[in-house]
Structure 1
Amino acid sequence: MNILVIGSGAREHAIVRALERSPKDKEIFCLGSNVNPGIAELCADLTVANINDTHTITSYAEKRAVDLAIIGPENPLAVGAADVLWDRDVRVVGPRKDLAQIETSKAFTRDLLTEYNISGCPKYKTFSSLSGVAEFLGELGENYVVKYDGLAGGKGVKVSGDHLHSHDDAKIYCQELVEKGGVFVLEEKLIGQEFSLMSFCDGETLKHMPAVQDHKR
Structure 2
Amino acid sequence: MKILLIGGGGREHALARSIADSPLVTDLRIAPGNPGMEGLGTLIQIKADDYDALFDYAVNEAVDLVVIGPEAPLVAGLADRLQDAGIRAFGPSAAAAQLEGSKEFARDFCTRHNIPQPAFFAAQDKDSAYRHIDAMNGFCVVKADGLAAGKGVVVADTADEAKAAVDAMLGGQFGDASKTILIEERITGPEASLFALLDGGDALYMASAQDHKRAYDGDKGPNTGGMGAISPSPRLDDALIEQVMDQVVRPLARGMADEGIPYQGVLYVGLMLTATGPQVIEFNCRFGDPEAQVILPRLKTDIITAMLAATDGGLGHFDMRWDDANAVTVVMATKGYPGAYDKGSAINNSESDDPDCIIFHAGTARDEHGQLIATGGRVLAVTGMGDNAAIARQKAYEAVAKIDWPEGFYRSDIAADS
Q: Structures share a fold, TM > 0.5?
A: yes
Aligned counterpart for 1:122 among listed residues 109, 114, 118: 118
Identity, in percent, stands at 38
**TM-superposed deviation, 1:41:** 1.6
Partner amino acid for 1:168?
A: D
Question: Which residue number in structure 1 is paired with residue 144 of structure 2?
Answer: 148
8 Å contact from structure 1 (residues 54, 84) kept in 2 = no
Question: Which residue number in structure 1 is paired with residue 168 of structure 2?
Answer: 176
Question: Which residue number in structure 2 is paired with residue 61 of structure 1?
Answer: 58
In the alignment, the residues of structure 2 paired with residue 142 and residue 167 of structure 1 have an alpha-carbon distance, to the nearest angstrom, of: 4
In the alignment, the residues of structure 1 paired with residue 78 and residue 198 of structure 2 have an alpha-carbon distance, to the nearest angstrom, of: 18
8 Å contact from structure 2 (residues 104, 182) kept in 1 = yes
**1:199 maps onto 2:196 in alignment:** yes
**TM-superposed deviation, 1:141:** 2.5
Question: Which residue number in structure 1 is paired with residue 49 of structure 2?
Answer: 52
Distance 1:143 1:169, change over 3 A: closer
What value does the CA root-mean-square deviation take over the aligned residues?
1.5
8 Å contact from structure 1 (residues 52, 79) kept in 2 = no
In the alignment, the residues of structure 2 paired with residue 203 and residue 84 of structure 1 have an alpha-carbon distance, to the nearest angstrom, of: 18
Partner amino acid for 2:167?
A: Q
Higher strand fraction: Structure 1 or Structure 2? 2
**TM-superposed deviation, 1:79:** 1.0
2:207 match: secondary structure: coil
In the alignment, the residues of structure 2 paired with residue 46 and residue 105 of structure 1 have an alpha-carbon distance, to the nearest angstrom, of: 32
Q: Deviations over 1:45-95 (max 9, x none)?
A: 211223223211111102321111111111111111111111111111111
2:193 match: secondary structure: coil
Equivalence map 1:19-34=2 (5 Å): 19-32=19-32
Equivalence map 1:82-101=2 (5 Å): 82-101=79-98
8 Å contact from structure 2 (residues 13, 37) kept in 1 = yes
Question: Which residue number in structure 2 is paired with residue 5 of structure 1?
Answer: 5
8 Å contact from structure 1 (residues 82, 94) kept in 2 = yes
Q: Deviations over 1:141-170 (max 9, x none)?
A: 343100001111111101024xxxx21221
In the alignment, the residues of structure 1 paired with residue 15 and residue 133 of structure 2 have an alpha-carbon distance, to the nearest angstrom, of: 41
**1:36 maps onto 2:28 in alignment:** no
In the alignment, the residues of structure 2 paired with residue 115 and residue 98 of structure 1 have an alpha-carbon distance, to the nearest angstrom, of: 16
Partner amino acid for 2:39?
A: E
**TM-superposed deviation, 1:25:** 4.2
In the alignment, the residues of structure 1 paired with residue 168 and residue 13 of structure 2 have an alpha-carbon distance, to the nearest angstrom, of: 35
Distance 1:14 1:168, change over 3 A: same
Q: Which moved more, 1:185-194 or 1:170-179?
A: 170-179
Partner amino acid for 2:55?
A: T
Aligned counterpart for 1:208 among listed residues 205, 208, 211: 205
8 Å contact from structure 2 (residues 140, 184) kept in 1 = yes
Structure 1: 4+ residue segments shifted above 3 A: none
Question: Which residue number in structure 2 is paired with residue 159 of structure 1?
Answer: 155
8 Å contact from structure 2 (residues 125, 170) kept in 1 = yes
**TM-superposed deviation, 1:28:** 0.7
Partner amino acid for 1:19?
A: I
Distance 1:41 1:134, change over 3 A: same
1:145 match: secondary structure: strand
In the alignment, the residues of structure 2 paired with residue 66 and residue 29 of structure 1 have an alpha-carbon distance, to the nearest angstrom, of: 9
Q: TM-score, normalised by structure 1?
A: 0.91
In the alignment, the residues of structure 2 paired with residue 55 and residue 215 of structure 1 have an alpha-carbon distance, to the nearest angstrom, of: 35
